[in-house]
């Protein structure tokens, strides 16, 4: 049986950030990942946006870790010469009815200490983005984009430089608490003993908590999968900012927005609907919804939209349910000392990943 000090489950942006940050202080760290490479799930199937933190209720982990995480992420990209762009975004109101919600969003962002928020009128909006229709917009200068693949590759490299091991094709099958920590069984027959476990298993993070013995129904920690699809277009070019509509009033997602990647290519999405299976296949069922949503703020015809990609959100918020925050906790109170859960790490999880790692480190040092 292999003995390790800290076992991190999952090599997405969260597991790799945790490995990078913890390996600066702790020894004998192993990351185990069921796929054959890092970031094969949610961390590579997202909008690649560095969020500012305007949306989330004040004092929530989502608000605090997004603002702190964005700072850390920009700094990390700059220091390590990783591709990113601080392009800024415009949240656009397209009719009078939306103006109160736009004002509220600005107030919320200011409460969360997001810097530089500015309301701009129709003319200023036109001068910044001539192709975009809006009667008013909230300009958010701290928003940006990054290359998630290169970012995760660098995290992996940094963790390995600090002697952490990343082991692929290692699927956790069972976790048992013992007198000295935890015994973990893998589907390939390997067995590890770990003093500390950090659960960063994304879409399966509730299953890891359940494996150790936490009653996820009773503790309200069941993950609900919520799919989001993207369409791309080559018709629209030269957009400089990310363009967002007002967020979905039910709080499930941010609205079908326009993002650019580092090459300036435009795509729209994601939409949001709950699913029961982990299936990344796509069809055009929701194309009309996309057209309707997108044409509120930009002119585009149906034949200029092509299916692109999709991702699945690991949400604690169930369908029709209330806002849920990130769940990041050391589980001594539940009888599982040195077992740290990160559950429900949906958006802005990519932005927040380095701040989440700092939070995990604080929990270990308590
Ligand atoms: C459509 C969409 C758009 C988004 N856009 C943004 C955005 O623009 N900006 C932003 O900040 N956030 C965004 N997010 C959220 C962000 O992508 C996630 O919060 C983040 O990627 C979560 O990372 P993770 O490491 O927790 O999960 P993952 O990347 O899913 O990593 C978890 C890993 O655990 C592994 N694993 C699972 N079970 C086991 C097991 N039994 N044994 C071993 N390994 C296991 C998985 O294989 C996986 O690699 C978006 C999400 C979606 C779905």
How do residues 242-277 score in pLDDT, each as one tens digit?
999 999 887 788 999 999 999 999 999 999 999 999
Does 228 share its domain with 137?
yes
Does 255 share its domain with 193?
no
| Structure token digits, residue 178 | 């013992």
Q: What is the pLDDT of residues 189-210, one digit of tens each?
A: 999 999 999 999 999 999 999 9
Residue 80 lies in a domain: no
Give, using CA atoms, the residue closest to atom 14 of ligand 1: 347
Does 288 share its domain with 348?
no
Residue 61 lies in a domain: no
Q: What is the pLDDT of residues 21-79, one digit of tens each?
A: 999 999 999 999 999 999 999 999 999 999 999 999 999 999 999 999 999 999 999 99
The tally of domains found in the chain comes to 2
**CB of 351 sitting under 6 A from ligand 1:** yes
Q: How far is the CA of 218 from the centre of ligand 1 (A)?
A: 24
Does 30 share its domain with 154?
yes
Q: Which atom of ligand 1 is nearest to the CA of 186?
A: 42
Q: What is the CATH number of the domain that holds 185?
A: 3.50.50.60
Q: How far is the CA of 204 from the centre of ligand 1 (A)?
A: 10
Q: Which atom of ligand 1 is nearest to the CA of 14?
A: 25
Q: What is the pLDDT of residues 6-21, one digit of tens each?
A: 999 999 999 999 999 9
Does 18 share its domain with 136?
no
- Which of 315, 332, 351 is the last residue in one of the domains? 315
Does 247 share its domain with 134?
yes
Does 123 share its domain with 216?
no
Does 189 share its domain with 336?
yes
> Can you give the three-state secondary structure of the chain, one letter per residue?
CEEEEEEEECCCHHHHHHHHHHCCCCCCEEEECCCCCCCCCHHHCCCCEECCCCCCCCCCHHHHHHHHHHHHHHHHHHHCCCCEECCCEEEEECCHHHHHHHHHHHHHHHHCCCCCCEEEEHHHHHHHCCCECCCEEEEECCCEEECHHHHHHHHHHHHHHCCCEEECCCCEEEEEEECCEEEEEECCCCEEEEEEEEECCHHHHHHHHHHHCCCCCCCCCCCEEEEEEEEEECCCCCCCCEEECCCCCCCCCCCCEEEECCCCCEEEECCCEEECCCCCCCCCCCHHHHHHHHCCCECCCHHHCEEEEEEEEEECCCCCCCCCCCEEEEEHHHCEEEEEEEECCCCCHHHHHHHHHHHHHHHHHC
Residue 109 lies in a domain: yes
**CB of 198 sitting under 6 A from ligand 1:** no
Does 9 share its domain with 136?
no
Residue 55 lies in a domain: no
**CB of 345 sitting under 6 A from ligand 1:** yes
Considering Cα of 264, then 268, then 274, then 276, what sign does the dihedral take? negative
**CB of 313 sitting under 6 A from ligand 1:** yes
Q: What is the pLDDT of residues 86-118, one digit of tens each?
A: 999 999 999 999 999 999 999 999 999 999 999
Residue 64 lies in a domain: no
Q: What is the CATH number of the domain that holds 123?
A: 3.30.9.10
**CB of 350 sitting under 6 A from ligand 1:** yes
Query: 264: domain range?
Result: 89-141+224-315
**How large is the greatest C-alpha to C-alpha distance in the chain, in angstroms?**
67
Q: How far is the CA of 126 from the centre of ligand 1 (A)?
A: 36
- Which of 299, 315, 331 is the last residue in one of the domains? 315
d(CA 126, CA 133): 8
**CB of 44 sitting under 6 A from ligand 1:** no
Does 349 share its domain with 291?
no
Q: How far is the CA of 344 from the centre of ligand 1 (A)?
A: 10
Angle at 241 between CA 235 and CA 244, to 5 degrees: 85
Question: Which of 15, 37, 42, 311 best tests ligand 1's pocket when mutated (most atoms within 8 Å of CB)?
Answer: 42
Residue 342 lies in a domain: yes
Residue 81 lies in a domain: no
**CB of 41 sitting under 6 A from ligand 1:** yes
**CB of 349 sitting under 6 A from ligand 1:** yes
Does 350 share its domain with 304?
no
Angle at 147 between CA 143 and CA 148, to 5 degrees: 95
Does 243 share its domain with 261?
yes
Distance linking the first and last C-alpha atoms of the chain: 29
**CB of 346 sitting under 6 A from ligand 1:** yes
Q: Closest Cα to residue 89, out of 193, 293, 205, 240?
A: 240
**CB of 204 sitting under 6 A from ligand 1:** yes
Mean pLDDT estimate for the chain: 97
* φ/ψ bin of 113: left (φ > 0), alpha (ψ from -120 to 50), beta (otherwise): left
pLDDT of 180 strictly over 90: no
Residue 297: phi and psi, rounded to 5, are -120, -5
- Name residue, tokens 């069922």: 285
**CB of 108 sitting under 6 A from ligand 1:** no
Residue 60 lies in a domain: no
């Amino acid at each position: 049986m292999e003995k390790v000090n800290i076992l991190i489950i999952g090599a997405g942006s969260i597991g790799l950030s945790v490995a990078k940050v913890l390996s600066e202080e702790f020894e004998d760290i192993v990351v185990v990942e069921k796929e054959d490479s890092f970031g094969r799930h949610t961390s590579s199937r997202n909008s690649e946006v560095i969020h500012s933190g305007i949306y989330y209720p004040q004092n929530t982990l989502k608000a605090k870790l997004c603002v702190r995480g964005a700072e850390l992420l920009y700094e990390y990209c700059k220091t390590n010469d990783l591709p990113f762009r601080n392009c800024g975004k415009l949240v656009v109101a397209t009719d009078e009815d939306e103006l109160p919600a736009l004002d509220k969003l600005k107030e919320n962002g200011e409460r969360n200490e997001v810097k530089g928020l500015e309301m701009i009128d129709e003319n200023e909006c036109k001068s910044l983005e001539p192709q975009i229709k809006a009667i008013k917009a909230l300009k958010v200068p701290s928003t940006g984009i990054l290359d998630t693949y290169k970012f995760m590759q660098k995290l992996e490299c940094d963790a390995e430089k600090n002697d952490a091991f990343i082991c692929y094709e290692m699927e956790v099958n069972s976790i048992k608490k013992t007198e000295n920590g935890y015994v973990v069984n893998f589907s390939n027959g390997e067995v590890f003993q770990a003093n500390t476990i950090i659960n960063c298993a994304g879409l399966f993070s509730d299953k890891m908590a359940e494996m150790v013995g936490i009653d996820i129904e009773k503790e309200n920690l069941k993950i609900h999968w919520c799919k989001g699809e993207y369409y791309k277009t080559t018709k629209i070019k030269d957009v400089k900012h990310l363009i967002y509509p007002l967020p979905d009033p039910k709080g499930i997602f941010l609205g079908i927005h326009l993002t650019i990647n580092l090459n300036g290519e435009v795509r729209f999405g994601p939409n949001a609907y709950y699913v029961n299976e982990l299936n990344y296949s796509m069809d055009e069922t929701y194309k009309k919804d996309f057209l309707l949503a997108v044409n509120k703020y930009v002119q585009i015809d149906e034949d200029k939209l092509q299916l692109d990609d999709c991702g699945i959100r690991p949400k604690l918020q169930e369908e029709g349910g209330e806002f849920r925050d990130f769940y990041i906790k050391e589980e001594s109170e539940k009888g599982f000392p040195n077992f740290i859960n990160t559950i429900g790490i949906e958006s802005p999880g990519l932005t927040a990943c380095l701040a989440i790692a700092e939070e995990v480190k604080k929990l270990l040092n308590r």
